[in-house]
């Protein structure tokens, strides 16, 4: 079973490590949450009424299993789509592990522009 922990916020919101609470509106920006392949979630909050819809489209995990001898550490990559409430869509890929030669990372953060709003998204674990 694969577990993803994401952190998503608009640029002006501080990150919160509190456990997420799902309401009818979704999850507030700045809370950590989990997704499985094919899952979708709506994030909301901020000064303006903003919503961001995320869907985990694809997950590839080629990391070396625990207690195994491997020649290559491997990586875990997640591809997802993001859409705002006005219908603007973007696709993004995040990767942890040995994603490129000499590039070993335990988390991956990107800033994603959907429409005219920027969001920071962090892949923390797979």
* Contact criterion met (CB below 8 Å) for 82 and 119: yes
pLDDT score, position 35: 87
CB 126 within 8 A of CB 78: yes
- Write the pLDDT tens digit of every residue in 67-121: 888 887 889 999 999 998 888 889 999 999 988 877 889 999 888 888 888 888 8
Dump pLDDT digits (tens) for 30-71.
888 888 889 999 988 766 677 889 999 999 998 888 888 888
pLDDT at residue 40 in the model: 92
Please answer whether residues 122 and 105 qualify as being in contact, where contact means their C-beta atoms are separated by less than 8 angstroms. no
pLDDT of residue 96: 93
pLDDT at 12: 45
For the whole model, what pTM was predicted?
Answer: 0.76
Burial class (CB in 10 A: 0-12, 13-18, 19+), 100: exposed
Of the two residues 7 and 92, the one the predictor is more confident about is 92
CA 64 to chain centre: 22
**Domain spans in the chain, listed from the N-terminal domain onward:** 4-125
3 state SS of 65 = coil
């Amino acid at each position: 079973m694969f577990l993803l922990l994401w952190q998503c916020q608009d640029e002006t919101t501080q990150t919160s490590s509190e456990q997420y609470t799902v309401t009818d509106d979704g999850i507030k920006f700045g809370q950590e949450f989990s997704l499985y392949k094919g899952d979708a979630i709506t994030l909301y909050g901020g000064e303006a009424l903003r919503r961001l819809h995320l869907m985990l489209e694809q997950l590839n995990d080629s990391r070396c299993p625990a207690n195994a001898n491997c020649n290559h550490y491997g990586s875990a990559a997640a591809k997802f789509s993001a859409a705002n409430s006005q219908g603007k869509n973007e696709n993004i890929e995040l990767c942890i592990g040995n994603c490129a030669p000499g590039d070993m990372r335990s988390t991956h953060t990107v800033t994603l522009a959907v429409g005219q709003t920027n969001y920071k998204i962090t892949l923390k674990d797979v």
